[in-house]
Amino acid sequence: MDLIDQLRTLASRIAATKDIIQTEEATKNAMIMPFIQILGYNVFDPTEVTPELIADVGTKKGEKVDYAILSEGKPIILFECKKSGGDLSINHAGQLFRYFHVTAARFGVLTNGLTYKFFTDLEQPNKMDEKPFFEFNILDFKERDVDELKKFAKSQFDVDTILTTANDLKYTRAIQNRLAEWTLNPSEEFVKILSSDLLGGKRFTPAVKDQFTVITKRAFEQLLGERINDRLKGAMTPESSPAQELAPVIPPEGVVENPIITTPEEIEGLHIIRAILRGVVSSRRIVMRDSQSYCAILLDDNNRKPVCRLRFNNTEKLAVGLFNQKREEEKFPIASLDDLYTHAEQLKATVLMHLPAEDAEKTA
């Protein structure tokens, strides 16, 4: 199984159990140790993964780090762990800072089982930076995040390779975060830069600022919407031969159809459902077909093989429609997209109903 598939499986399990995990020890056992194992390190071999590695740091004796990944007997990656959902501010990384200083390890990881913050010493040799150069969220990751994480896998680990890209990665992510923030709340300086060539020498008054702030936000929203729809056309629609393509339906004159808009939430919902069903069928067989009333998730793009219905038109009241043994839809409210993971077993059961008996038995 590929790394990304293993991570998706772990993500499904964590999403279903994270709220009942209350202690640091439970977080280590249920969330962090499986993560380290996925990277290819044997958590049951103390010559490879050592829990509570001890070192004397200055006047502090018996300092411990939660986990140390070893290579040839020397620590290469240090882990400091907090309980599930715990605070990961730099103020809670004191032990990691001190231990980083006295070992040969070049990488430190601060984690609560959900988010993993990776640190190194880009700014000052042998002193851990206060800001991570890479963050990985087990419940919200993209393929490019997995590509970066692969560099820490046992089979690919190389200090020089990681350090070569760490500096660029750190600032690239910082700029991405800033741009993402500006799409929702453009700063005055950013609006001023964008509007300077458009004002024709006019002063940047408070009224102009308010006007262009609204315009900037709208421009971002439209640009992102267009990009998403362009990608949907290429990525979400299954390939079909020209002979299978249907002629466009032209509405009667005078009738105006409401446009069908596929939202980012529906796209993310599709990806989550594909992740849940990865061990049952190929993700390429799980297809989205949007409509005005709901977004259908189908097996093999076949209306007779519904997987579920995403009822996300009202963003304040999300719901998912699931199918029982009689193939009748039952609607369940969800507080967030993460709640889709709590319905993983029913989604798998629904897909198995659509598979031939022999295929279903192999999957089971």
Q: What per-residue confidence (pLDDT) applies to 343?
A: 94
241 falls within a domain: no
239 falls within a domain: no
Q: Are residues 167 and 194 in the same domain?
A: no
SS3 assignment, position 94: helix
Q: What per-residue confidence (pLDDT) applies to 267?
A: 86
φ/ψ of residue 322, rounded to 5: -110, 160
Q: Are residues 149 and 271 in the same domain?
A: no
Write down which residue in 152, 176, 200 finishes a domain. 176
Q: In the chain, how many domains are there?
A: 3
Write down which residue in 176, 197, 214 finishes a domain. 176
Q: Are residues 279 and 157 in the same domain?
A: no
37 falls within a domain: yes
Q: Are residues 205 and 162 in the same domain?
A: no
Q: Are residues 329 and 203 in the same domain?
A: no
Task: For residue 232, give the nearest of 276, 263, 257 by alpha carbon.
Answer: 263
Q: Are residues 24 and 129 in the same domain?
A: yes
Q: What is the 3-state secondary structure (H, E, C) of 195-222?
A: HHCCCCCCCCCHHHHHHHHHHHHHHHHH
342 falls within a domain: yes
Q: What per-residue confidence (pLDDT) applies to 33?
A: 95
Q: Are residues 140 and 24 in the same domain?
A: yes
The neighbouring-strand residues paired with 78 are 68, 108
Q: Are residues 162 and 19 in the same domain?
A: yes
28 falls within a domain: yes
Q: Are residues 227 and 132 in the same domain?
A: no
Q: What per-residue confidence (pLDDT) applies to 242?
A: 43
Q: Are residues 160 and 216 in the same domain?
A: no
Q: Are residues 208 and 278 in the same domain?
A: no
Q: Are residues 60 and 28 in the same domain?
A: yes
Q: What per-residue confidence (pLDDT) applies to 265?
A: 86
Cβ-contact 302, 285 below 8 angstroms: no
Q: What per-residue confidence (pLDDT) applies to 239?
A: 47
What is the extent of the structural domain holding 15? Answer: 3-176
Give the end-to-end CA distance of the chain in Å, rounded to a whole number.
17
Q: What per-residue confidence (pLDDT) applies to 9?
A: 92
* Strand intervals (E) in the chain: 49-57, 60-71, 74-81, 107-111, 115-119, 134-137, 286-290, 295-299, 306-311, 319-323, 329-333
CB-based burial of residue 147 (10 Å sphere; 0-12 exposed, 13-18 middle, 19+ buried)? exposed
242 falls within a domain: no
Q: Cα–chain-centroid distance for residue 138?
A: 6
In tens, the pLDDT along 115-148 reads 999 998 888 887 888 888 899 999 989 888 999 9
pLDDT < 50 stretches in the chain: 239-247, 254-256
CB-based burial of residue 9 (10 Å sphere; 0-12 exposed, 13-18 middle, 19+ buried)? middle
238 falls within a domain: no
Task: Please state, in angstroms and rounded to a whole number, the distance separating the CA atoms of residues 297 and 310.
Answer: 8
